[in-house]
Amino acid sequence: MTTPLPPPPDPGAARTALTLAAAGEPEPLRADAARNRVLLLDAASRLLARCGAAGLTMESVAAAAGVGKGTVFRRFKDRTGLLIALLDHREALLQAAFLSGPPPMGPGAPAAERLHAFGPAVMRHEHEHHELILASRTDPLRTYAVPAQRLRLSHVALLLRQAHAEGEPELLAHTLLGSIDTPLVHHLTCERGVAAERLEQGWHDLLTRYGVTR
């Protein structure tokens, strides 16, 4: 490429903004708004466990929480915003592992080892929540604006730089993350019968092709 891409967002800044920004909330929330958000997400989590993502609607969440439907819409804007907010807590656990957890995924291991550990960990994490993730993918472009995805991108790009990968780090990061994107992994494993171990090996093979070896 003749023109370099602009630098990705700072991982620390993206992580700070994750919890509320993913659902479109201003920061910080008033105390009563924060309580309402917790109440609604708790009700949504119970419905999700009982009915699955397909049965999760703004109306059902309002009824379960004992509030008006308008309260749910004001808090999350739409169903997709609600689903993304439900993913925040689960995503925070993954982020804690790769930002501050133990090696090989967390700090303390060489960048190459962290990269090789990252892909399989994300695939396992998203397999556990694939129904919720797939239900939230109503707008393909919205996926790239979610702070959690921006953080993953900046994290992988940073490690690629540190590992001296061959190529433009941000573009390589997009390619790597695209190879383990939830809809693709779900299609390959559930529709095509590809073993998860083969997909994990594909992540390692891609990194090796970029010159990132353990």
Distance in angstroms (rounded) separating the CA atoms of residues 194 and 106: 28
Who's near 138: CB < 8 A, 6+ residues apart?
79, 80
pLDDT of residue 130: 85
Closest to 202 measured CA to CA, from 191, 190, 188: 188
pLDDT of residue 11: 41
Looking at the structure, give the CATH architecture of the domain made up of residues 11-209.
Orthogonal Bundle (1.10)
The mean pLDDT values, 10 residues at a time, for the chain of 214 residues are 41 38 46 80 86 86 90 88 82 91 96 98 90 81 84 97 97 96 93 95 97 94
Contact yes or no for 169/115 (Cβ under 8 A): no
The owner of tokens 């590992």 is 163
